[in-house]
Structures are given as C-alpha cells and as structure tokens.
Amino acid sequence: MVRELGALLVADPFVVMNAIGLVAFALVGASKAIREQFDLFGIAVVGLATAFAGGMTRDILVNRIPLALSDPSEIALGVVGVGLAIGLHVVLESPDDHPVTLVSDAVGLAAFATAGAIVATEAGVSAFGVVAIATVNAVGGGAIADILLDRAPFILFEDFYASCAVLGGTTYWLAVTAGLGGSTAAAACAAVTVGTRLIAVTQGWSLPTAQRFRPG
C-alpha cells in the first residue's frame, strides 16, 4: 500500500496531496468544533468546510468548477477526516491540543500548499500567482474554521502559518523553473511547508505583527 501510494505520488502528485489535505483538515476542523461542543451536524459542517474552503477558492481563481462540488471522492475523504476526529475524541482526551491534531494541521497545510502550487502551475499563472494560489489553498481552511467558530481569522497573521505556505509555494515554483519534475517539486514544497511549520510550532516562532510597531 505504501509502495502503491509512492507510485501514485510520482504518477499524480496532486491526487495524493489533495487527498492528504482533505483528510487532515477535516480532522482539524472537526476537532475544533468538538472542543466547542458543537453537535454532530455542526462538527460535520465545520470539518467539511475546513477541508473544502481552500480548494474551492483555488478552483474559482483558476476558473474551474470546484472539485469539492464535482468529485464525489472529495466528500468521502472529508467524511473520513471527520470520523477520525470523532474517533480521536473518544480515544484521547483533548484532540484539539493533542500533537496528533497539531501535526495533522501542519501536514494538511503542506499538502494543500502543494496541491495549490500544482493546480496553479498547470493553469499557467505567473510566479506570484503560483505562490498566492498555493497559500490560499493552504490557509483557506483554517480561516473558514475560525469564522465558523466565531473567532477572528487573524490567527493567520499572528504566527508562522501562512508564511510556511508562502515558502512552500516559492520552493515549488523555483523547483519547476529550475527544470525539476513535478513530483520532485511537490515533495520539496511539502517538505519545506511542513518542516517550517513544525519547527515554528515547537520553537514558538512568530512573525512581527503590526502591533509591535505601533506606538505604546
């Protein structure tokens, strides 16, 4: 199975990255909704919205019908992620703060940054477009989750989160421009994104915010 996944990753990196992102972000969104004590309907809505929001924005930007609406496997993968979140909640105590959820979030961020970079490159956008679409694909889910949970989505600006996707998207564009194959570029993008994100979480990295520059 691992070997088949590896072969698929070489054959069609988008499918693999998109599937990983859907499961991981549905898990993260559903876990947040569980901690807020939403009912089952609310948990499913927040989980699926977290999984779908980034990709839908990406698809609207590159001018195609959102995959989440046209491909039934998207919702199946989202449901798997929601189910995993509920399972984790039963097995563990606090899934929202648990390392499993934090790692899932970093993995989903990296997988969606890569999926976005692949779609953007295929759509023939500029270097800026590749990085922008990779970032939107990666952070859209976290933003919509915060909106649905009635938190300010400015968490995106407050730590080293969107910046990891910017670095990953830039890596993808550099790799493709340097003549590397799509699978290699995808692996490099995912590795840079998940690596910087996990280091940022464990080291407590943060970008300087505007507030730090405001007068006392």
Least separation, in Å, of the C-beta of 67 and a second copy? 9
Task: Assess 75 for contact with a second copy (CB under 8 A).
Answer: yes
Q: Does 41 bind a second copy (CB under 8 A)?
A: yes
Q: Which of 10, 12, 15, 42 binds a second copy (CB under 8 A)?
A: 42
Task: Provide the token pair at 133.
Answer: 């679409």
| Residue 214 in contact with a second copy, rule: CB under 8 A | yes
Say whether residue 151 binds a second copy (CB under 8 A): no
- Cα(5)–Cα(11) distance, integer angstroms: 10
Kindly identify the residues of this chain, within the stretch 160-189, that bind a second copy according to CB under 8 A: none
Interface with a second copy includes 203 (CB under 8 A)?
A: no
Task: State the first-to-last Cα distance of the chain, in angstroms, to the nearest integer.
Answer: 57
Is 69 one of the binding residues for a second copy (CB under 8 A)? yes
Does residue 153 belong to the site contacting a second copy (CB under 8 A)? no
Q: Is 94 in the site for a second copy (CB under 8 A)?
A: no
Q: Of 3-11, 94-102, 104-112, 125-133, which segment contacts a second copy by CB under 8 A?
A: 125-133
Helices within 12-126 (DSSP H only): 13-35, 40-61, 67-70, 72-91, 99-122
By CB under 8 A, residue 93 contacts a second copy: no
Dist. CA 113–CA 121, nearest whole Å = 12
Q: Cα 89–78–21 angle (5° rounding)?
A: 95
Reference 89, options 30, 144, 49; nearest CA is 30
Q: Which stretch binds a second copy (CB under 8 A): 14-22, 111-119, 121-129, 170-178?
A: 121-129
Virtual CA dihedral for 3, 7, 84, 201, nearest 10 degrees? 100
Asked whether position 206 contacts a second copy by CB under 8 A, the answer is no
Contact residue for a second copy among 83, 129, 153, 195 (CB under 8 A): 129
Q: Quote the least distance from Cβ 177 to a second copy, whole Å.
A: 13
- Tell me the residue type at 150: D
d(CA 128, CA 138): 15
Task: Report the distance separating Cα 117 and Cα 134, nearest Å.
Answer: 5
Under rule CB under 8 A, which residues in 44-63 are in contact with a second copy? 56, 60-63
Instruction: Quickly count: other Cβ atoms within 10 Å of residue 186's Cβ.
Output: 28
Q: Both tokens of residue 194? A: 């998940």
* 120 scored as a contact of a second copy (CB under 8 A): yes
| Interface with a second copy (CB under 8 A) | 36-39, 41-42, 56, 60-66, 68-72, 74-75, 120, 123-129, 132-133, 207-208, 210, 212-215
